[in-house]
Amino acid sequence: MEEELTHTPGSGGLTVEECQDMIRRSLETQKVKFLKEHLEKAGCGIGDNFINAVNCDKNISGGYVRGEGIMVCSNHMNVQDEVNQVVMHELIHAYDDCRAANLDWANCAHHACSEIRAGHLSGDCHYKRELLRGYMKIRGHEQECVRRRVMKSVIANPYCSEAAAKDAMEAVWDVCYNDTKPFDRAP
C-alpha cells in the first residue's frame, strides 16, 4: 500500500502544487484512464479528490488508504513518469480493494497479493526503472524486483513480520502474479 521510493530522497522534489498538476496530467494517460474506467465498472468510481499530492515525512513515494484515497508524496517526486507510476500502482490497490469484498489489509497474504499485482501490472519493475535504482540484472529482473518491493511494503505492515511477509508472498505468488485483471495481460 505504501510505495517504495524510486530515487534518492533529498534529490529535490516537487511542491504540492507542481505534483497536483502532474497528477492531473497522469489522469489523462491511457493506462490510468483504463484503470479509472474499470474502477467505475466495478462500482468504485473515484471523485476529483481521490488522488492528492501531499508532503510526506516517511521515506515513501505514495500510498492508498481505504476510504480516503491515494496520496502522492510530492516532496519525493521529480518527474512526470514517477508521478504516473505511483498513480498507476496505487490505482491497482484501489481496484483490488474494490473488487475483493473481503480484502483485509491487515492480512499479510491479502496485502502481499495486491502488492504483487501492483508491482507487476504498473510497470514498477520495468528494466529501465531497475537500472535507475542500481539493479543491473539482465534476466529475471522483473520478478526479482516485484518480490523485493512486495517484501519492503508488506514488512512495513504492522501486522506482518518479515517471516510472515515472506511466507505470505510465497503462498500467493503464482495466483496473484498471474492475475492480470482488469488487463487482459500484463501491460
Q: Which residues are identified as catalytic?
A: 90
| Pairing between β-strand 60-65 and β-strand 51-54 as defined by DSSP bridges | unpaired
Q: How far is CA 22 from CA 8, 19, 26, 27, in A?
A: 20, 5, 6, 9
Please, how many CA atoms are within 13 Å of residue 12, restricted to the half-sphere of its CB?
7
CA distance 179 to 61: 25
CA distance 187 to 183: 7
Q: How many residues does the chain have?
A: 187
- Judge contact between 112 and 165, C-beta under 8 A: yes
Grid cell listed for 25: 496530467
